C-alpha cells in the first residue's frame, strides 16, 4: 500500500501521479541527496548511516566497488585505488589536472578526459562519479518507495561545458534522468527562500572540501541572474586539513612518511579541524614513521594562525567579484554561507567583517545546496507549490472535466488550481471497433453531467478500429495565463488529433459560481448515490455487451443447459440495471461473471489451440 504525503492546500497529486524528484549535491568531498516530502525539504539518510556520503570510491581486485564511508576508511590502507575528490578531474585532460591529484593517483593521458588506473582497470572520472550517484539514487528510491522521475544536480557556477557535460554523463551512467544542472550558489539561495524574497543582490560564499566558489546573484522577477563569479578551484577545506597535517607532522617528527601513513595523518588532521569548531583545544594522535602514534596538543589559536593565509586567499576572489560587478559591499543584501568549511569560526568572522553583516548560517551549510536542488527538482517535476510559480496569476473558480460513459463527470483540473495549468489523462474506447469519440467539456462540482455546465463538444475521429479498451486517447486540458481553456485529444498510436478552445468563466457572475459550488456541497450524499448507481450501470452494460459478443462468436462452446444459465443471468442483470439499487446491480454483475467464467476459459483454450496448431515450437514468438 502506498503511503500518503501531506500536500500543500489544493496540491494533492492524483493517484500514481505523485512525482518524486531529488536534488543532488555532487560535492568534491561529500555528496548528499534531498527531496521534498510533506512539502518540507529534507536530506535523505542511507540505511544505517547519516545523510552525508563521502565522495570516495574504492576499486577492489575482485571487481567490487565500495562507495562512501567504508571507502573513506580504507583510504589510508589502499590510497592508489581509493579515489577521492574526483570532481577535480571531471572533464579534464591530464594537462589541466592539478599536481595534488597527479601525485596521489596513477593518472593516464588518453587524449581526451584523463583516466585513473586502479586494480579494477582504468576508470574515467565520469565512471567514478556515477558510482557515487548510483548510491544516492538507490538511497532515494529505497526511501521514497517509488521510481524517481529525475534529479537536479548541482555544479559550481564556474564549471565549463566539458565539466557540465561530464556531470550529465555520470548521471546517465548511474541511471538518473537529469532535469537540470543547477548552479550551486543558486541552489543555496533557493534553499533560503531568496527566490520568494524581495528583488535584490545576494552573495554566496561557498567553501567546500576542494573548491572555493564565490558568486554574486541578482534576483529580478523570480529569476536569478549570475552577475559575477570568482573563486579558486584548488582551495577548500582539504587545504586546511593539509596545512594542519603538515604542521602536526613537523611538530611530531618531521621524518618522511610512506603513502598510507601520510593518508592516516590527513584523516587525523580533518578530525582535529572539525573538533576545533566546538572545542578550544584538541589532542591529536599523529602517526610518525618509526614508532606508531604521538600525541600532540592543538589549540584553536594555533590552527587559526596556521590557516589565516588560506582564509585571506578566499577574500581575494570575493573582492575581485565585487569589482567585476562594480558593486560596493553595502549593496549586497545578504551573504549565504555554504560548505562544511564555513563552520570554522574564523572563516565566518572574516566574511562578517568584510561585508559588515552577519552571513546566513541557519541552514546546515553542508546540506543547503542539496536542499535548494530538491526544492527546484520538486517544481520541475510538476509538484508546484503556490508562490513558487512566478507566473502565478489566478486560480480557476470551478473544476473542469469531461463526460464519461453513463453521464458521469470526470474532473481533469480541480477548482482552485493555479493557472497556467496543464493536465492530461488517458481514456479508451468502450465498444469494439469504435472509431470516433465525442468529447464533452464540462465545468462544475457535481457528479452528473446534467448538473454541470456544458462548455464545449467536439469529436475525435479516425481512431483505428480496435477491441474495446485497446485505443489510448490522451486528453489534455490546458488553461493559459489568460484563463483560456484549450482541450485536445490525441490517439496515441496513430497520432490523430482534435481540439477546441473556450473561455471557461465567460458569462458566469460571481453569484452563479457561488451557487454552483453550494449546490455541489448540498447534494454531496445524493451525488454519491447517483455516482455509485451510474458506475454499476455502466459496468453492467459493458459486461452484457462483452457477453453478447462472446456468445455471437462461440455459443457452440457451451452445452445447452450452460447456455441457458448464462442467458438467464443476462436477462436478470438487464432487468436489475434499470433499477436504482446499485448493490443489487453489483450482485447481478457478480452472478453473470460467475456464469461466464467457464465460457471465457474455453474461449481462451480455443484461441491458444488455434494459435499453436501447425506451428513448430521453435517458431513461436516467445
Partner 1 sequence: MAVTLSEAAARHITKFLAKRGKGIGVRLGVKTTGCSGMAYKLEYADESETDDLVFESQGLKVMVDPKSLPYIDGTELDFVREGLNEGFKFNNPNVKNECGCGESFNV
Q: Phi and psi for 581 in degrees, rounded to 5?
A: -95, 105
Q: Is 51 helix (H, G, I), strand (E, B) or coil?
A: coil
- Are the CB atoms for 25 and 51 separated by under 8 Å? no
Rounded to a whole number of angstroms, the minimum distance from the CB of residue 64 to partner 1 is: 23
Dist. CA 524–CA 535, nearest whole Å:
16
Bridge-partner residues for 213, per DSSP?
A: 206, 231
Containing 590, the helix (H) or strand (E) segment is helix 582-612
Give the start-end residues of each E strand in 17-166. Answer: 20-26, 30-37, 40-43, 53-54, 56-59, 65-67, 82-84, 107-108, 115-118, 121-123, 148-155
- Are the CB atoms for 158 and 185 separated by under 8 Å? no
- Are the CB atoms for 63 and 121 separated by under 8 Å? no
Q: How many residues does the chain have?
A: 622
Q: Give me the residues that bind partner 1 (CB under 8 A), please.
A: 1-12, 14-16, 37-40, 47, 142-145, 409-411, 414, 445, 447, 518, 520-521, 524-525, 527-528, 531-532, 535
Q: How many CB atoms lie within 10 A of CB 604?
A: 10
> Closer CB to partner 1, residue 34 or residue 207?
34
> Closer CB to partner 1, residue 329 or residue 517?
517
The CA-atom distances, in angstroms, between 316 and each of 49, 230, 622 are 38, 9, 68
Find all residues with CB under 8 Å of 554, minimum gap 6, and list them. Answer: 599, 602, 603, 606
Find all residues with CB under 8 Å of 622, minimum gap 6, and list them. Answer: none
> Closer CB to partner 1, residue 14 or residue 160?
14
Phi-psi region of 489 (alpha: psi -120 to 50; beta: other; left: phi over 0): beta
Give catalytic residues, as residue numbers: 25, 87, 184, 206
> Closer CB to partner 1, residue 378 or residue 409?
409
Dist. CA 399–CA 516, nearest whole Å:
11
> Closer CB to partner 1, residue 134 or residue 411?
411
> Closer CB to partner 1, residue 37 or residue 606?
37
> Closer CB to partner 1, residue 141 or residue 242?
141
Dist. CA 208–CA 206, nearest whole Å:
6
Rounded to a whole number of angstroms, the minimum distance from the CB of residue 373 to partner 1 is: 19
> Closer CB to partner 1, residue 387 or residue 462?
387
> Closer CB to partner 1, residue 27 or residue 414?
414
Burial class of residue 362 (count of CB atoms within 10 Å of its CB; 0-12, 13-18, 19+): exposed
Rounded to a whole number of angstroms, the minimum distance from the CB of residue 38 to partner 1 is: 5
Dist. CA 303–CA 246, nearest whole Å:
12
> Closer CB to partner 1, residue 150 or residue 401?
401
Dihedral through CA 597, CA 598, CA 600, CA 605, nearest 10?
A: 140
Dist. CA 242–CA 253, nearest whole Å:
16
Q: Phi and psi for 407 in degrees, rounded to 5?
A: 75, 25
Rounded to a whole number of angstroms, the minimum distance from the CB of residue 447 to partner 1 is: 7
The residue among 242, 286, 206 whose CA lies nearest residue 104 is: 242
Q: At what angle do helices 125-144 and 161-173 cross, to 10 degrees?
A: 50
Pairing of strands 20-26, 148-155: parallel
Dist. CA 163–CA 155, nearest whole Å:
9
Cα of 280 vs its chain's centroid, Å: 42
Rounded to a whole number of angstroms, the minimum distance from the CB of residue 503 to partner 1 is: 24
Bond prior to 565 in cis (omega within 30° of 0): no
> Closer CB to partner 1, residue 359 or residue 414?
414
Q: How far apart are the first and last CA of the chain?
A: 33
Amino acid at each position: 500500500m502506498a503511503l500518503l504525503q501531506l500536500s500543500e492546500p489544493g496540491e494533492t497529486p492524483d493517484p500514481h501521479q505523485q512525482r518524486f524528484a531529488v536534488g543532488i549535491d555532487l560535492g568534491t568531498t561529500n555528496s548528499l541527496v534531498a527531496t521534498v516530502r510533506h512539502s518540507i525539504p529534507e536530506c535523505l539518510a542511507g540505511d544505517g548511516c547519516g545523510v552525508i556520503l563521502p565522495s570516495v570510491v574504492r576499486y577492489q581486485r575482485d571487481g567490487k566497488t565500495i562507495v562512501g564511508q567504508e571507502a573513506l576508511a580504507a583510504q589510508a590502507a589502499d590510497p592508489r585505488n581509493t579515489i577521492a575528490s574526483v570532481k577535480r578531474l571531471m572533464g579534464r585532460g591530464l594537462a589541466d589536472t592539478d599536481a595534488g591529484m597527479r601525485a596521489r593517483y596513477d593518472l593516464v593521458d588518453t587524449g581526451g578526459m584523463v583516466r585513473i588506473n586502479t586494480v579494477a582497470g582504468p576508470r574515467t572520472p565520469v565512471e567514478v562519479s556515477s558510482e557515487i550517484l548510483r548510491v544516492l539514487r538507490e538511497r532515494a528510491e529505497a526511501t521514497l518507495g517509488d521510481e524517481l522521475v529525475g534529479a537536479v544536480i548541482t555544479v559550481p557556477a564556474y564549471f565549463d561545458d566539458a565539466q557540465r557535460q561530464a556531470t550529465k554523463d555520470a548521471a546517465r551512467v548511474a541511471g538518473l534522468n537529469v532535469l537540470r544542472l543547477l548552479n550551486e550558489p543558486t541552489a543555496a539561495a533557493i534553499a533560503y527562500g531568496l527566490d520568494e524574497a524581495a528583488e535584490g543582490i545576494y552573495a554566496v560564499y561557498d567553501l567546500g572540501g576542494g573548491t572555493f566558489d564565490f558568486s554574486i546573484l541578482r534576483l529580478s522577477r523570480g529569476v536569478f541572474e549570475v552577475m559575477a563569479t570568482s573563486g579558486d578551484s584548488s582551495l577548500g577545506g582539504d587545504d586546511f586539513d593539509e596545512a594542519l597535517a603538515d604542521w602536526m607532522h613537523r611538530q611530531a617528527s618531521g621524518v618522511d612518511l610512506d603513502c598510507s601513513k601520510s593518508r592516516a595523518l590527513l584523516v587525523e588532521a580533518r578530525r582535529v579541524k572539525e573538533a576545533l569548531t566546538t572545542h578550544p583545544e584538541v589532542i591529536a594522535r599523529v602517526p610518525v614513521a618509526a614508532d606508531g602514534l604521538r600525541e600532540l596538543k592543538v589549540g584553536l589559536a594555533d590552527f587559526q594562525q596556521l590557516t589565516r593565509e588560506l582564509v585571506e586567499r578566499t577574500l581575494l576572489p570575493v573582492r575581485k567579484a565585487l569589482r567585476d560587478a562594480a558593486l560596493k559591499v553595502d549593496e549586497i543584501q545578504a551573504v549565504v554561507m555554504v560548505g562544511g568549511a564555513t563552520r570554522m569560526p574564523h572563516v565566518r568572522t572574516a566574511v562578517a567583517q568584510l561585508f559588515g553583516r552577519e552571513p546566513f548560517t541557519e541552514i546546515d551549510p553542508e546540506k543547503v545546496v542539496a536542499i535548494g536542488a530538491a526544492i527546484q527538482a520538486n517544481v520541475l517535476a510538476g509538484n508546484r507549490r503556490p508562490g513558487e510559480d512566478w507566473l502565478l496569476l489566478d486560480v480557476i473558480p470551478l473544476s473542469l472535466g469531461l463526460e464519461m460513459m453513463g453521464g458521469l463527470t470526470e474532473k481533469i483540473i480541480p477548482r482552485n488550481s493555479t493557472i497556467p495549468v496543464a493536465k492530461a489523462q488517458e481514456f479508451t474506447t468502450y465498444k469494439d471497433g469504435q472509431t470516433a469519440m465525442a468529447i464533452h467539456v464540462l465545468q462544475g462540482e457535481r457528479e452528473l453531467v446534467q448538473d454541470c455546465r456544458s462548455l464545449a463538444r467536439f469529436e475525435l475521429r479516425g481512431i483505428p478500429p480496435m477491441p474495446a479498451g485497446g485505443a489510448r486517447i490522451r486528453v489534455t486540458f490546458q488553461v493559459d495565463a489568460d484563463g483560456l481553456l484549450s482541450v485536445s485529444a490525441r490517439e496515441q498510436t496513430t497520432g490523430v488529433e482534435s481540439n477546441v478552445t473556450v473561455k471557461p468563466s465567460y458569462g458566469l457572475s460571481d453569484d452563479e459560481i457561488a451557487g454552483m459550488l453550494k449546490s455541489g456541497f448540498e447534494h454531496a450524499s445524493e451525488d454519491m448515490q447517483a455516482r455509485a448507481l451510474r458506475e454499476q450501470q455502466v459496468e453492467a452494460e459493458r459486461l452484457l455487451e462483452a457477453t453478447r459478443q462472446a456468445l455471437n462468436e462461440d455459443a457452440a462452446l457451451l452445452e445447452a443447459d450452460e447456455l441457458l444459465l448464462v442467458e438467464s443471468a443476462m436477462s436478470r442483470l438487464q432487468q436489475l440495471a434499470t433499477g436504482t439499487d446499485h448493490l443489487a446491480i453489483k450482485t447481478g454483475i457478480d452472478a453473470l461473471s460467475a456464469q461466464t467464467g467457464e465460457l471465457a476459459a474455453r474461449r481462451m483454450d480455443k484461441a491458444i489451440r488455434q494459435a499453436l496448431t501447425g506451428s513448430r515450437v521453435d517458431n513461436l514468438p516467445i
